[in-house]
Amino acid sequence: MTDTLTARLNDPRTRRAAVEEGLRDRFPAWNEPTVAVDVPFGPGGGRRARFWVSPDYAGILDVCGAEYLRVPADPRVYQAAAATRGWEFPVPPLVDAVAAVPAARRAPPRTVSKERGAWFTVVSHNARVEADRVRMGVPRGELWCGAKKDIVVGVADPAALRTPRVWLYGWHRPDGSRIQGLFGGHAVSYVDYSHGWRPVAGEVEVDGVRRPYAAVVGDLALMREMFPEWHARLDATRYRASPFTRY
């Protein structure tokens, strides 16, 4: 017998509300952002920032025939789930830092070229990702990468923001290289199987002192110290009409 949430996810008319409900009521405790990601910086790497991220991408327990379904969504749907828990979206250099964690397990990206936005593609792709996880012996709660592109808050030319965009980055291969550079070519409502949200805790520890995530990623000087390639600061860590600004 199909449960009610699965039936609503299978129906495009009720899917968005069903995803919102699933992220609220069936988000597993093992995937909360509790995995530490340390970023050494400063002279000789003597300073440290510690972020906390989820070990896997956001999903829903026990739906659509899956023990755990990594569910793609409009970032504003993720944002609603994040707001109730004080979680955030990653910035692009944090996605790179997660992929570079020595203990992280790295699955090969599984790409699909046709019907990328179809629900059956989401479900079948998740099954392939789960098969990789089982084959690699990765337990729930262990950090791993390669399953999805990250939905991020990032930087872009404001002229490109006449309509709201979803911003994507990452999808790292086992060798550490990435498939997706920072990309904002889709409207914010566009969703396909490859999109994922890795929740980030709402606080960062910098030199032993806890600070709000938004304050840290909005601190241009600090971000440049931590991530030398970082050349802009965020106007916001939330999705809205124009969440990015160039400096």
Tell me: pLDDT of 245 over 80.
Answer: no
Average pLDDT over residues 45-53: 96
Residue 9: left if φ>0, alpha if ψ -120 to 50, beta else—which one? alpha
93-104: pLDDT as tens digits: 999 999 999 989
203 versus 102: which is more confidently predicted? 203
Contact 227, 98 (CB under 8 A): no
Give the least confident one: 173-182, 187-196, 233-242. Answer: 233-242
DSSP H or E run through 83? helix 75-83
Average pLDDT over residues 56-72: 96
197 versus 235: which is more confidently predicted? 197
14-27: pLDDT as tens digits: 999 999 999 999 99
Tell me: pLDDT of 127 over 50.
Answer: yes
Tell me: pLDDT of 70 over 60.
Answer: yes
166 versus 203: which is more confidently predicted? 203
Residue 199: Cβ-neighbour burial (10 angstroms; 0-12, 13-18, 19+): buried
Site of tokens 């405790």 = 29
How many residues are given for the chain?
A: 247
Residue 166 vs residues 94, 152, 155, 185: alpha-carbon distances, Å: 17, 8, 12, 8
Using CA atoms of 8, 14, 17, 22 in order, give the dihedral in degrees to the nearest 10: 20
- Is the pTM higher than 0.75? The answer reads yes
- Residue 114 amino acid letter: K
* Chain centre distance of CA 186: 16
